[in-house]
């Protein structure tokens, strides 16, 4: 297949790009106009000009069979000022709208669009078990994710199969959130966040890539899918497992009030919100997870 990918330099995109190329697919990394185009020597594809503001897409995108849309500014980088919120929304919602408009102009359109989303779409839900059919939340992240998915969904009217991948906390050896989470534990000052009772829906990066490849290849899969392990854990369990993997104590709990003082609204959405999400659609498809044990996953990455 010829596959267009936005966000190809991110945590998921960089690994996915390499695996798809190794499997024999032609990978086209959509890059901004100011980025110097190149064909990589390792055979992992080539760059195609892409302007997310205007929707202009380079001619090399012609003939694409699939699109994987992973673009989006980091939600954990800096406090959520009004300006930062506009950037977070624009990098997801506006860029996806522009991408779908570009696909609409193609004489021959891709068969499938896989667009990133997040389990943050459900909001703070306590102990409620959340599936793809659960109602959506009402906070900032929920609203952004819902609008993000709605823009991707418009590609269905173009005859393109759309899959919205609702990512949970992605764990990886390099990059992503795990390195930041491990830092205080390495210093001996790590511990649970707030009460520690909030649910954390996590997934190993290897499963993420495998699921995205499944979504590319399985023509029956469409709509939202929860890209999470079938074994969510409470924050207290997560931090205990992290401490054990690092052979460090987990004694210093971070009070919710202190987190809110330091991080503002971001603390509630990213650290204190509870989302007990299960991958119902993937389980119905019979997907066999490669990693379901959190302790083993953390040990494998942090040993």
Tokens of 9: 């330099």
Burial classification of residue 38, based on how many CB atoms lie within 10 Å of its CB (0-12 exposed, 13-18 middle, 19 or more buried):
exposed
Question: Any idea where the domains of the chain sit in the sequence?
Answer: 2-176+202-228+278-290
Give bridge partners of residue 276 from the DSSP assignment.
129
Predicted local confidence at residue 285, as pLDDT:
95
Predicted local confidence at residue 114, as pLDDT:
98
Predicted local confidence at residue 38, as pLDDT:
52
* DSSP-derived secondary structure for 46-96: EEEEB-TTT--B-GGGTT-SEEEE-----TTSS---HHHHHHHHIIIIIHH
Predicted local confidence at residue 247, as pLDDT:
93
* CA distance linking residue 223 with residue 206, whole number of Å: 22
Residue-wise pLDDT tens for the chain (303 aa)? 999 999 999 999 999 999 999 999 999 999 987 766 554 444 557 899 998 888 889 888 999 999 999 999 999 888 899 999 999 999 999 999 999 999 999 999 999 999 999 999 999 999 999 999 999 999 999 999 999 999 999 999 999 999 999 999 999 998 889 998 999 999 988 999 999 999 999 999 999 999 999 999 999 999 999 999 999 999 999 999 999 999 999 988 999 999 998 889 989 999 999 999 999 999 999 999 999 999 999 999 997
* CA distance linking residue 110 with residue 100, whole number of Å: 11
Tokens of 149: 């998915």
Predicted local confidence at residue 163, as pLDDT:
98
91: phi then psi, degrees, rounded to nearest 5:
-70, -15
Predicted local confidence at residue 162, as pLDDT:
98
Predicted local confidence at residue 55, as pLDDT:
82
* DSSP-derived secondary structure for 97-166: HHHHHHHHT-SS--SEEEEEEEGGGG---TT-EE-TTSPP--SHHHHHHHHHHHHHHGGGGGT-EEEEEE
Predicted local confidence at residue 41, as pLDDT:
42
Whether 89 contacts 144, CB under 8 Å: yes
Predicted local confidence at residue 43, as pLDDT:
53
Q: Enter the CATH code of domain 2-176+202-228+278-290.
A: 3.40.50.720
HSE-up of residue 5 (Cα within 13 Å, Cβ side): 30
Predicted local confidence at residue 36, as pLDDT:
61
**Cα–Cα nearest to 29, from 56, 60, 53:** 60
48: phi then psi, degrees, rounded to nearest 5:
-125, 130
* CA distance linking residue 275 with residue 283, whole number of Å: 18
Predicted local confidence at residue 110, as pLDDT:
97
Predicted local confidence at residue 303, as pLDDT:
74
Predicted local confidence at residue 175, as pLDDT:
85
């Amino acid at each position: 297949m010829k596959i267009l990918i936005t966000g190809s330099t991110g945590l998921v995109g960089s690994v996915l790009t390499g695996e798809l190329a190794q499997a024999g697919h032609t990978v086209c990394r959509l890059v901004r106009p100011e980025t110097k185009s190149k064909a990589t020597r390792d055979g992992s594809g080539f760059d195609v000009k892409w302007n997310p503001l205007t929707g202009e897409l380079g001619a090399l995108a012609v003939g694409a069979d699939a699109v994987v849309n992973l673009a989006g500014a980091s939600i954990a980088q800096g406090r959520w000022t009004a300006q930062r919120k506009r950037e977070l929304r624009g990098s997801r919602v506006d860029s996806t709208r522009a991408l779908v408009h570009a696909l609409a102009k193609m004489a021959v359109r891709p068969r499938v669009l896989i667009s990133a989303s997040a389990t943050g779409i459900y909001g703070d839900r306590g102990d409620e078990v959340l599936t793809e059919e659960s109602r959506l939340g009402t906070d900032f992240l929920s609203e952004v994710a819902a609008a993000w998915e709605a823009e991707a969904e418009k590609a269905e009217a173009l005859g393109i199969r759309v899959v919205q991948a609702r990512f949970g906390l992605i764990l990886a050896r390099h990059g992503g959130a795990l390195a930041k989470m491990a830092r205080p534990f390495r210093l001996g000052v790590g511990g649970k966040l707030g009460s520690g009772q909030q649910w954390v829906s996590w997934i190993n990066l290897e499963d993420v890539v495998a699921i995205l490849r499944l979504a590319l290849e399985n023509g029956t899969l469409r709509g939202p899918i929860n890209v999470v392990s079938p074994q969510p854990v409470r924050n207290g369990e997560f931090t205990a497992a992290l401490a054990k993997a690092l052979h460090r104590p987990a004694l210093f709990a971070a009070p919710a009030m202190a987190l809110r003082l330091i991080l503002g609204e971001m603390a509630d959405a990213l650290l204190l919100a509870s989302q007990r999400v299960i991958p119902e659609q993937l389980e119905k498809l019979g997907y066999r997870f490669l990693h379901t044990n959190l302790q083993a996953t953390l040990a494998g990455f942090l040993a």
